[in-house]
Amino acid sequence: MAERKAFLLRADPAVLEALQRWANDDLRSLNAQIEFVLRRALQAEGRWKEPKERASGRPGSAGSESRK
C-alpha cells in the first residue's frame, strides 16, 4: 500500500458535516471522502496524473471511484 502522509486540516464544521453525510452515502470514511473530492478536483483542473501503482484497475483506482 502507498505511504500516507498525515496533516492537520482546519475546516468549517458545516463543511465537515456535509462531507461526512456524503461519505456515509458512498460507504466511505471521512478521510477517504476528502481524498476522493480532492482527487476529483485535481482531475477536473488537469493537475492530477494517476500514479502507475494505482492505475492497475485495482479497487480504489480512479476508475472504481466514479460509481455514480
Residue ranges of domains in the chain: 12-20+27-46+58-68
pLDDT at 58 exceeding the cut of 60:
no
Distances from the Cα of 6 to the Cα of 14, 15, 56, 68, angstroms: 22, 20, 25, 28
Q: Which residue has the higher pLDDT, 47 or 60?
A: 47
Distances from the Cα of 54 to the Cα of 4, 11, 30, 58, angstroms: 14, 28, 20, 7
- Compute the average pLDDT of residues 9-16: 97
* pLDDT at residue 51 in the model: 77
pLDDT at 38 exceeding the cut of 80:
yes
- 15 Cβ contact partners less than 8 Å away, ≥ 6 residues apart: none
Q: Which of 6, 8, 30, 27 is nearest to 17 (CA)?
A: 30
* pLDDT at residue 55 in the model: 59
